[in-house]
């Protein structure tokens, strides 16, 4: 189950962060997302070590925390997508699919002429799309 | 890694203690502390609860001496990924605590307990303790399943006993569960993994490897459980097997784990017996443990997971074990190693700043769970390590950090490190995290008793996150700021500013209109050009560069007060000297003390009892961020202040002391109120308020209505120079108020600024710019001889602008002017030109009329004036006579050319008329020069009209009128010191326009009559009446004809005499006057400007009043005469008539 998705901007500024749990663990998830930026920075700065190719937006598993797994995705504009899931058994393809859809939704959201780049995404349509994507995650 | 680890930790069973339902916090604490007493349960005590279902795998259980040990984790903890590796990390039991009075429904209690247990899948035993149940609950309780245990209300001792029993029961149950688990593990062969193992599916080679390792790991885990079950001997046996197997399969991590377990087993076994040998053994084995943990470090997955924390934990465990005075050095070494290791975990070398910060915060939270001061200090210190990662560092540490990171090579982060830069605002958006950490720092600082840290944390929290804090939260922070400040000594400084937000508002350019002017030593009048010329202070035509540079540079003078305006905003809901949610502009002032450039980076604010430095640039960045939408809100905008405005910060330089001139208008600085036309002398006091004498001064005027200043007594100022410090000089300035009316429409514009005034008084500002150029003597006297050096550095001059505000009130208002004529017949007397009379008339008032001469065609200018003001005016008329108008210039009397008429008083709201006689303006000669050019000789008559072209005539007349008008002055006086002149020239001009010729030009001929008597006779009769004529007596008379023109005139004179009824009494049948000599048809020629006389005699038959009139027809009149007579055709005879002369005939000696 996906518990949290987040968009983090070019300057590591949070643009969108949404948790999908009933419990009151938003702060914990904020921390998880914030910490995962370390790993993303590491990967971006040392692409050889981590083995990812330059053209690959999907960063793979960033790190497992106590009970979450965190996946990352980096767009060409250095906007980061972060996915936090509680599933222990995660198929890479599922995550890739998720990020692809999520990226499309993000592009739609920032193409809105009323969106100010660098500002938090407040679009309700985006939120709706994201929750649809999260809901459909892992179903097929 | 946990803060309270020790070597014996692996033998302690973790029990999660969860509050179920609502429990008041003090009660929860009580229940928890009751549990804490049962952290160790002796095996001997649980035997009664223990039933051996199968043969126990713990064959060497020390039933007499052993015990089970518990650790109660209040609130539980999330499952650890390492719990397979170290079974003591598992939550092995869950105890729910329930306070029955606050959760009456036991069914829901059971349900929520079950829900809570769900997240602890590793728990083998679950119990819910319900305290203080009611009677009904007691009845129901039995049916609610075995996990719910009700503690009937009783005294404390009974309750504790009950609890002890229950804990023993739990211990027994756990023991039995452990046995079951071990038996299962031995037979089934569980797969045990750690995060260090590959997460992906294994390949074939790895499968074989894993199978081999499986046995060793299983043995290690069984050893763990044996240790937890309180059987160290069994544990040791299993660990030995595990060590053997792990070494064979190269499973270093598990080898280290088993070795750690074996040390724990050793210590538990030898409980209470410590000796050197044991210590050496522990030290030896633990060194090995640390070594193997280090060995198990796998480079490939170091990003993801690392056994580093286990290495550190082992180091800390050993250090804690060895921690005694004798071994201080060793412990210090260990701890240093641990610290280095910890640093490497936290250090940016790994790039895991945020993760490290996260862990630090977790550690701090653990510390904060212990409610004591030392733990709070530790928590605070740990939290301080996180501030960089969360961008909430105190400004005190920022300077160091930014310098350190300046050399960093991490390009994408390069900008991020500058806290002040706009970029840092980006990462400052993790406000939820930042607020939590700041709040924890505040909490820990309060607990730790560090008021400054608490103040700083509260200030940061409030300043950067106020939009996200509820009003009550803001008030809470305000009170914690105040509380912290109470504990701080007064005058404490803190690097972190709290409220309010401060930004630059403006720099007042110069106080009291004192301007500094650069001096050009090459020019004598260096001030010209620097002074604003014209009515505007800013002229668009002046050079742009000069304007720019003057804007960018601000000169302050040592010793003179300066001001800076700043705007403060308080966006919070409490009062900080500024009301909530408001902003205000205040003035900061100071006195420069040293020469040199000055920058104003910020200001110091004493707020909430602490002095802080507010840097303007920070706020500017914040506002910029707000404008770009990066920050929540602009504190100034939310306070209703204007939006982001760019304040130009000039380069400020401080110059050595300059003379300072202070001016004040004597009688108050308010507007000088003048009535129209008023002339008044105003004194302006100048005082040198500086410390340097003024050597040079120059006064000039600028601005509108400069004409209003008639004179400035500049010499008064010049004579006072050099003006020593503290000296004063008074400069009289004479002002004349201008005319208020439609003519001065531009004045009205100037007065429009004071719209609130009545329409009648228009306020107009007149700025008297006194330019004071000051030469300052700053060199020693000996250097004065060296002009070169003196010119090389010229101190600037200064300009003082003294605004003179003049308010002109409408004074006397002019209603209309009329020309009146008055005719007073003359009496025929002995002497027409009596010198005495003439002299008398000169010295006396002009209106005095000589009765013998009469006043024919006397004209008066009547001015009607009204006084709409509320003061009384006195009007006096002065007429200036040209000297040339008099024939004898030598007369000393005529040196005073002005004549004053009696004063006319006009009360308020009244009108009055003033008469001005226009008698003495007649020109002495009527000649052609007045009528401009002579007509061409060819057309002497017919071309007369065209020759006097209208234009020329008009111009001449206007010139004459002006000349005439300028001689008439109407002055007024009101009160003691208000006096002025009425400006009525225009009115007089219109009144005189038509009749000016009659006023100015003399008639060509003037006539006069007089009696001719013998000297004796005259004298004899003189007592009777000087000019009387007796009836029945021959009265010789003569008529005098004077030619006023410059050419000889031929004329035909006739004289008539009329009686009272107007009948010609010298002719006809019933004539009452007999005459001798010619009375009509007398032809004579009068030389220019000469008189001719014609004698005749009259014999009056009847006494009474008679009128003598002389008339003449001019023959061969020239053009001048025709023009004067305004004849219509050239052939028309020109007829001149003299004024009537009265003759009183008294009855003679009949």
pLDDT at residue B642, rounded to an integer: 62
Assign B86 a pLDDT band (cuts: 50, 70, 90).
Answer: confident
Of B312-326, B762-776, B863-877, B1125-1139, the least confident? B762-776
Chain A contact set for B303 (CB, 8 A): 39, 42-43, 49-50, 63
**pTM for the full predicted model:** 0.47
Q: Count Cα neighbours of B643 within 13 Å in the Cβ-side half-sphere.
A: 5
Contact (CB<8Å) B412/A41: yes
Contact (CB<8Å) A31/B433: yes
Which residue of chain B has the CA closest to A26?
B432
**495-524 in B: which are within 8 Å (CB) of A?**
none
Chain B contact set for A13 (CB, 8 A): 426-427, 429-430, 630
Q: Which helix (H) or strand (E) holds B362?
A: helix B353-369
pLDDT digits 0-9 by tens, B514-558: 556 665 555 555 555 544 444 445 545 444 444 444 455 677 777
Of B25-39, B110-124, B403-417, B645-659, the least confident? B403-417
> Residue A6 pLDDT > 70, yes or no?
yes
Contact (CB<8Å) B423/A39: no
Please choose, from the candidates B1053, B1034, B1032, B1033, the residue with its C-alpha nearest in 3D space to the C-alpha of residue B1042.
Answer: B1053
Chain B contact set for A22 (CB, 8 A): none
The answer to whether B426 faces chain A, any CB pair under 8 Å, is yes
Chain A contact set for B358 (CB, 8 A): 31, 34-35
Instruction: Please give the Cα distance from B860 to B1028 (Å, whole number).
Output: 30
How much is the ipTM here? 0.83
Among B354, B410, B628, beta carbon nearest to A38: B354
Higher pLDDT, B510 or B805: B805
Mutate which of B121, B353, B360, B429 to disrupt the A interface (most A C-beta within 10 Å)?
Answer: B429
Q: Give how far A105 is from chain B: nearest CA, Å.
A: 22
pLDDT at residue B774, rounded to an integer: 36
Cβ–Cβ under 8 Å, residues B697 and B721? yes
Of A55-59, B39-43, B722-726, B829-833, the least confident? B829-833
Of B473-477, B504-508, B1104-1108, the least confident? B504-508
Q: Count Cα neighbours of B9 within 13 Å in the Cβ-side half-sphere.
A: 21
Of B167-171, B305-309, B881-885, the least confident? B881-885
% of chain B surpassing 90 pLDDT: 0
pLDDT at residue B19, rounded to an integer: 86
Instruction: Please give the Cα distance from B1007 to B1039 (Å, whole number).
Output: 7
In three-state secondary structure terms, B445 is helix
| Per-residue exposure over B582-597, b if at least 16 CB sit within 10 Å of its own CB, e if not | bbbeeeeeeebeeeee
Q: Can you tell me the mean pLDDT for B174-195?
A: 77
> Residue B708 pLDDT > 50, yes or no?
yes
pLDDT at residue B3, rounded to an integer: 60
pLDDT at residue B403, rounded to an integer: 38
Q: Can you tell me the mean pLDDT for A104-126?
A: 84
Q: Which helix (H) or strand (E) holds B328?
A: helix B328-346
Contact (CB<8Å) B304/A30: no
Higher pLDDT, B754 or B322: B322
Instruction: Please give the Cα distance from B465 to B448 (Å, whole number).
Output: 24
Chain A contact set for B436 (CB, 8 A): 27
Instruction: Please give the Cα distance from B648 to B6 (Å, whole number).
Output: 63
> Residue B294 pLDDT > 60, yes or no?
yes
> Residue B413 pLDDT > 50, yes or no?
no
pLDDT at residue B952, rounded to an integer: 61
Among A31, A38, A120, beta carbon nearest to B352: A38
Q: Can you tell me the mean pLDDT for B688-707?
A: 69
Instruction: Please give the Cα distance from A54 to A45 (Å, whole number).
Output: 11
Mutate which of A24, A32, A35 to disrupt the B interface (most B C-beta within 10 Å)?
Answer: A35
| Beta strand spans in B445-524 (E) | 493-494, 501-506, 514-517
> Residue B65 pLDDT > 80, yes or no?
yes
Q: Give how far A39 is from chain B: nearest CA, Å.
A: 7
pLDDT at residue B1042, rounded to an integer: 80
> Residue B49 pLDDT > 70, yes or no?
yes
The answer to whether B351 faces chain A, any CB pair under 8 Å, is yes
Highest mean pLDDT among B500-514, B610-624, B833-847: B610-624
> Residue A93 pLDDT > 70, yes or no?
yes
| Per-residue exposure over B278-298, b if at least 16 CB sit within 10 Å of its own CB, e if not | eeeebbebbebbbbbbbebeb
Q: Quote the radius of gyration of chain B (alpha carbons, Å).
A: 61
Mutate which of B358, B626, B627 to disrupt the A interface (most A C-beta within 10 Å)?
Answer: B358
| Per-residue exposure over B233-256, b if at least 16 CB sit within 10 Å of its own CB, e if not | bbbbbbbebbbebbbebebbbbbb
Contact (CB<8Å) A34/B433: yes
Contact (CB<8Å) B429/A14: yes
Dihedral of CA atoms B589, B591, B592, B598 in degrees, nearest 10, equals: 0
pLDDT digits 0-9 by tens, B740-791: 654 333 333 333 333 222 223 333 344 333 333 333 333 333 333 333 333 3
Average pLDDT, chain B: 70
> How far is residue A114 from each of residues A13, A64, A104, A118, measured CA to CA in Å?
19, 37, 18, 12
Instruction: Please give the Cα distance from B912 to B917 (Å, whole number).
Output: 16
Maximum Cα interatomic distance, chain A, rounded to a whole number of Å: 41
Q: Give how far A58 is from chain B: nearest CA, Å.
A: 16
Contact (CB<8Å) A66/B79: yes
pLDDT at residue B269, rounded to an integer: 83
The answer to whether B118 faces chain A, any CB pair under 8 Å, is no
pLDDT digits 0-9 by tens, B260-287: 888 888 888 887 777 778 888 888 888 8
Mutate which of A4, A9, A13 to disrupt the B interface (most B C-beta within 10 Å)?
Answer: A13
pLDDT at residue B799, rounded to an integer: 66
Number of other residues whose CB lies within 10 A of the CB of residue B847: 15
Chain B contact set for A12 (CB, 8 A): 416, 426-427
Highest mean pLDDT among B27-31, B900-904, B1130-1134: B27-31
Of A92-96, B116-120, B546-550, B920-924, the least confident? B546-550
Highest mean pLDDT among A52-56, B92-96, B1025-1029, B1048-1052: B92-96
Q: Give the count of Cβ contacts less than 8 A between chain A and B.
A: 84
Contact (CB<8Å) B412/A64: no
Which residues are CB-contacts of B327 (< 8 A; sequence separation ≥ 6)? none
Q: Give how far A37 is from chain B: nearest CA, Å.
A: 8
Chain B contact set for A63 (CB, 8 A): 303-305
Cβ–Cβ under 8 Å, residues B918 and B999? yes
Chain A contact set for B83 (CB, 8 A): none
Chain A contact set for B352 (CB, 8 A): 35, 38-39, 42
Cβ–Cβ under 8 Å, residues B656 and B793? no
Which residue of chain A has the CA closest to B83?
A66
pLDDT digits 0-9 by tens, B979-1033: 777 766 777 777 766 666 666 666 777 777 777 765 444 433 333 445 567 778 8
Chain A contact set for B361 (CB, 8 A): 31
pLDDT at residue B534, rounded to an integer: 44
pLDDT at residue B1101, rounded to an integer: 82
Instruction: Please give the Cα distance from B641 to B632 (Å, whole number).
Output: 17
DSSP B644-669: --PPP--EEEEE-----EEEEETT-S
Contact (CB<8Å) B352/A42: yes
pLDDT at residue B303, rounded to an integer: 57
Of A94-108, B844-858, B1134-1148, the least confident? B844-858
Contact (CB<8Å) A78/B413: no
List, in sequence order, every residue forming a beta bridge with B767; answer none if it has no partner: B803
Q: Can you tell me the mean pLDDT for B594-610?
A: 78
In three-state secondary structure terms, A117 is coil
> Residue B451 pLDDT > 70, yes or no?
yes
CA angle A123, A127, A128 (to 5 degrees): 115
Instruction: Please give the Cα distance from B765 to B807 (Å, whole number).
Output: 8
Please choose, from the candidates B341, B350, B347, B298, the residue with its C-alpha nearest in 3D space to the C-alpha of residue B319.
Answer: B341
Contact (CB<8Å) B199/A61: yes
Chain A contact set for B423 (CB, 8 A): 11
> Residue A17 pLDDT > 70, yes or no?
yes
Cβ–Cβ under 8 Å, residues B661 and B563? no
Higher pLDDT, B618 or B1038: B1038
Assign B134 a pLDDT band (cuts: 50, 70, 90).
Answer: confident
In three-state secondary structure terms, B272 is coil
Instruction: Please give the Cα distance from B1032 to B102 (Å, whole number).
Output: 152
> Residue B41 pLDDT > 50, yes or no?
yes
């Amino acid at each position: 189950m996906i518990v949290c998705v987040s968009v983090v901007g070019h300057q590591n500024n949070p643009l969108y962060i949404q948790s999908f749990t009933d419990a009151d663990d938003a702060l914990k998830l904020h921390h998880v997302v914030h910490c995962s930026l370390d790993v993303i920075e590491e990967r971006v700065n040392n692409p050889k070590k981590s083995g990812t190719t330059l053209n690959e937006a999907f960063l793979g598993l960033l790190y497992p925390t106590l009970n979450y797994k965190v996946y990352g995705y980096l767009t060409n504009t250095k906007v980061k997508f972060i996915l936090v899931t509680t599933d222990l058994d995660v198929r890479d393809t599922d995550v890739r699919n998720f990020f692809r859809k999520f990226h499309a939704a993000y592009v739609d959201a920032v193409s809105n002429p009323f969106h100010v780049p660098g500002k938090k995404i407040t679009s309700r349509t985006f939120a709706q799309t994201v929750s649809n994507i999260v809901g459909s995650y892992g179903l097929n | 890694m946990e803060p309270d680890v020790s070597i014996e930790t692996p033998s302690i069973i973790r029990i999660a203690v969860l509050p179920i339902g609502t429990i008041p916090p003090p009660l929860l604490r009580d229940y928890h502390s009751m549990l804490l007493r049962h952290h160790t349960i002796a095996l001997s005590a649980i035997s009664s609860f223990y039933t051996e279902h199968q043969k126990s795998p713990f064959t060497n259980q020390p039933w007499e001496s052993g015990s089970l040990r518990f650790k109660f984790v209040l609130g539980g903890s999330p499952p650890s990924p390492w719990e397979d590796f170290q079974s003591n990390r598992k939550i092995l039991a869950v105890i729910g605590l329930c306070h029955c009075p606050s959760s009456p429904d036991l069914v829901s209690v059971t349900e929520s307990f079950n829900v809570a247990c769900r997240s602890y899948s590793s728990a083998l035993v679950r119990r819910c303790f319900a305290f203080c149940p009611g009677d009904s609950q007691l009845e129901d309780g039995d049916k609610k399943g075995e996990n719910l245990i009700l503690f009937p209300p009783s005294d404390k001792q009974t309750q504790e006993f009950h609890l002890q029993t229950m804990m023993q029961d739990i211990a027994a149950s756990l023991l039995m569960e452990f046995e079951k688990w071990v038996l299962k593990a031995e037979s089934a062969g569980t797969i045990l993994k750690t995060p260090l193992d590959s997460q992906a599916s294994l390949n074939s080679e790895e499968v074989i490897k894993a199978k081999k390792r499986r046995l060793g790991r299983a043995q290690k885990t069984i050893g763990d459980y044996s240790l937890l079950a309180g059987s160290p001997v069994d544990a040791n046996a299993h660990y030995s097997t595990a060590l053997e197997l792990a070494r064979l399969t190269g499973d270093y991590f598990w080898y280290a784990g088993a070795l750690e377990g074996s040390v724990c087993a050793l210590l538990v076994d030898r409980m209470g017996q410590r000796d050197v040998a044991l210590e050496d053994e522990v030290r030896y084995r633990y060194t090995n443990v640390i070594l193997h943990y280090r060995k198990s470090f796998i480079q490939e997955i170091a990003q993801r997971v690392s056994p580093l924390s286990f290495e550190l934990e082992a180091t800390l465990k050993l250090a804690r074990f060895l921690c005694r005075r004798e071994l201080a050095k060793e412990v210090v070494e260990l701890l240093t190693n641990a610290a280095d290791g910890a640093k490497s975990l936290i250090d940016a070398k790994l790039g895991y700043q945020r993760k490290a910060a996260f862990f630090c915060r977790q550690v701090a939270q653990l510390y904060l769970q212990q409610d004591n001061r030392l733990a709070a200090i530790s928590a605070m210190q740990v939290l301080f390590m996180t501030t960089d990662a969360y961008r909430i560092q105190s400004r005190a540490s920022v300077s160091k950090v930014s310098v350190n990171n300046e050399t960093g090579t991490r390009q994408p982060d390069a900008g991020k490190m500058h806290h002040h830069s706009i970029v840092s605002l980006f990462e400052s958006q993790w406000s939820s995290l930042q607020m939590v950490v700041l709040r924890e720092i505040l909490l820990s600082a309060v607990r730790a008793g560090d008021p400054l840290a608490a103040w700083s944390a509260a200030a940061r929290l409030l300043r950067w996150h106020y939009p996200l804090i509820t009003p009550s939260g803001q008030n809470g922070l305000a009170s914690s700021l105040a509380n912290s400040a109470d504990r701080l000594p007064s005058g404490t400084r803190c690097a972190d500013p709290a409220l309010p937000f401060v930004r630059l508002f403006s720099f007042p350019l110069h106080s009291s209109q004192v301007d500094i002017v650069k001096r050009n030593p090459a020019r004598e009048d260096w001030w010209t050009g620097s002074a604003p010329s014209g009515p505007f202070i800013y002229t668009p035509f002046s050079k742009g560069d000069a304007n720019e540079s003057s804007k960018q540079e601000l000169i302050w003078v040592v010793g003179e007060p300066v001001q800076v305006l700043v705007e403060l905003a308080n966006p919070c809901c409490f009062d900080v000297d500024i009301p909530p949610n408001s902003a205000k502009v205040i003035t900061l002032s100071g006195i420069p003390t040293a020469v040199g450039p000055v920058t104003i980076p910020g200001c110091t604010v004493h707020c909430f009892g602490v002095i802080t430095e507010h840097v303007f640039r920070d706020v500017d960045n914040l506002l910029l961020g707000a404008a770009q939408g990066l920050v929540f809100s602009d504190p100034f905008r939310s306070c209703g202040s204007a939006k982001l405005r760019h304040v130009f910060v000039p380069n400020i330089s401080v110059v050595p002391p300059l003379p300072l001139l202070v001016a004040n208008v004597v009688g108050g600085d308010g507007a000088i109120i003048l009535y129209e036309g008023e002339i008044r002398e105003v004194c302006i006091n100048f005082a040198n308020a500086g410390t340097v004498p003024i050597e040079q001064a120059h006064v000039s005027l600028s601005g509108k209505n400069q004409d209003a200043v008639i004179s400035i007594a500049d010499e008064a100022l010049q004579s006072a120079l050099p003006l020593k410090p503290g000296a004063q000089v008074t400069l009289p300035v004479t002002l004349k108020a201008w005319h208020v009316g439609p003519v001065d429409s531009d004045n009205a514009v100037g007065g429009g600024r004071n719209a609130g005034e009545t329409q009648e008084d228009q306020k107009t500002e007149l700025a008297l710019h006194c330019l004071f150029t000051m030469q300052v003597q700053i060199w020693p006297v000996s250097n004065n001889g060296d002009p070169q050096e003196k010119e090389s550095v010229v101190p600037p001059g200064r300009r003082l602008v003294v605004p003179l505000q003049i308010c002109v009130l409408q004074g006397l208002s002019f209603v209309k002017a009329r020309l009146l004529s008055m005719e007073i017949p003359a009496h025929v007397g002995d002497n027409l030109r009596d010198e005495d009379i003439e002299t008398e008339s000169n010295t006396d008032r002009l209106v005095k009329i000589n009765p013998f001469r009469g006043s024919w065609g006397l004209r008066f200018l009547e001015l009607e004036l009204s006084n709409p003001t509320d003061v009384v005016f006195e009007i006096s008329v002065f007429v200036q006579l040209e000297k040339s108008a008099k024939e004898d210039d030598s007369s000393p009397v005529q040196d005073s050319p002005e004549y004053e008429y009696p004063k006319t008083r006009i009360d308020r709201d009244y009108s009055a008329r003033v008469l001005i006689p226009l008698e003495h303006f007649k020109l002495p000669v009527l000649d052609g020069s007045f009528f401009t050019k002579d007509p061409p000789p060819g057309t002497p008559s017919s071309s007369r009209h065209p020759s006097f072209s209208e234009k020329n005539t008009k111009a001449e007349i206007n010139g004459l009128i002006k000349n005439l008008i300028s001689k008439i002055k109407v002055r007024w006086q009101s009160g003691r010191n208000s006096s002025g002149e009425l400006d009525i020239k225009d009115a007089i001009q219109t009144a005189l326009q038509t009749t000016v010729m009659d006023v100015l030009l003399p008639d060509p001929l003037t006539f006069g009559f007089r009696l001719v008597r013998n000297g004796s006779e005259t004298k004899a009769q003189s007592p009777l009446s000087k000019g009387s004529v007796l009836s029945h007596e021959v009265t010789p008379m003569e008529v005098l004809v004077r030619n006023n023109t410059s050419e000889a005139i031929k004329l035909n004179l006739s004289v008539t005499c009329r009686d009272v009824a107007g009948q010609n009494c010298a002719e006809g049948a019933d004539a009452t006057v007999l005459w001798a000599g010619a009375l009509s048809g007398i032809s004579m020629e009068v030389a220019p400007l000469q008189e001719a006389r014609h004698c005749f005699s009259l014999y009056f038959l009847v006494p009474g009043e008679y009128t003598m009139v002389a008339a003449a027809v001019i023959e061969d009149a020239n053009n001048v005469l025709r023009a004067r007579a305004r004849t219509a055709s050239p052939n028309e005879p020109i007829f001149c008539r003299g004024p009537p002369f009265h003759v009183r005939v008294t009855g003679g000696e009949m």
